[in-house]
Amino acid sequence: MTALIGLDWGTTNARAMRFAADGSVAEIRERPLGILRVPGGDFPAAFAELAGDWRAEAPAAPVLMCGMIGSRQGWREASYATLPADAAALARALLPMPEIGGWIVPGISGESLAGAPDVIRGEETQALGVLAVLGTDTACLCMPGSHSKWVELRQGRLTRFATFMTGEAFAALRDHTILARMIEDAPHDPAAFAAGLARSAAPGGLLHHLFTVRTDGLFARLTPASAASFLSGLMLGNEMRDATAAFPAAEVVLVGSQALAAPYRAALEAAGRTARVVPGEEAVAAGLWRVAHAAGLAG
């Protein structure tokens, strides 16, 4: 019996989950139907492809969606909840989607480390799910991605977060700047990555450090095959310095795949922190169930 249909609908991909009455995921499927890949912006058709058969089999089961599907570029914009926020706060701010018998989880807005606005959308559900997975109410999370998120949770509530554009900036620098001429596609080089981490602690700051990717290559101190790993270490090292200063927890929970988390774990350990990994799909499933339960939709 399907008790809940959940969707983690991002920019590139969409993941649909069918929940049993005990909150376990009975079935999961993933499609390259992120909000920027939906043909003609036809979200009802995309939903039908993702979960239409589940809907037909269980017409009374509620649908709960999180992620970029609730952004301005998504199906319908869900306004932001504010900090501090727990599952109950998100449940109170759900955006109804009566055409599918469902709701969209809102994102959360807050103040950045620089005093400007900051936002998360999708990660709030994962963050609450991490607490459920770990059986705790307090944690410091790092959520790697194009825009990595650092999140603080206390007493079951998101209390602070900060966004770092490390992943997107790395891709832009690697592929679309003068540094691209010094970089070849190659397997990850742990030694070069460690050298980049070390360089990030040197005087000068990130904008100065970036040019050393070029000059080290010019003087044969860095090979093209190692340059991407060095650049990755350089950028993650700079993120670590600022993020760990702002979020001084001894242990950081990395949320994502083992492959995505591996360089962050190495950077955290180099910064003297311990880390553990919670798979992103496990976190978001637990988070969707937690919000659904708080809203009286499940459990």
**Whether the Cβ atoms of residue 22 and residue 46 lie closer than 8 Å to each other:** no
Q: Report the pLDDT value the prediction gives residue 12, as an integer from 0 to 100.
A: 93
**Whether the Cβ atoms of residue 86 and residue 61 lie closer than 8 Å to each other:** no
How far is 41 from 200, CA to CA, in rounded Å? 42
Per-run averaged pLDDT (10 residues), the chain, 299 residues: 96 96 96 96 97 96 98 96 97 97 97 96 98 97 96 98 97 97 95 97 96 96 98 96 95 95 94 95 98 94
Radius of gyration for the alpha carbons in the chain, expressed in angstroms and rounded = 20
Residue 2 has which token pair? 């399907």
List, in sequence order, every beta strand (DSSP E) within the chain: 4-9, 14-19, 25-31, 63-67, 81-82, 95-97, 102-104, 108-111, 117-120, 139-143, 148-154, 157-164, 251-255, 274-278
**Whether the Cβ atoms of residue 143 and residue 275 lie closer than 8 Å to each other:** no
Q: Report the pLDDT value the prediction gives residue 221, as an integer from 0 to 100.
A: 96
How far is 97 from 81, CA to CA, in rounded Å? 18
Q: Report the pLDDT value the prediction gives residue 1, as an integer from 0 to 100.
A: 84
> In the 8-state DSSP scheme, what is residue 42?
-
* pTM for the whole structure: 0.94
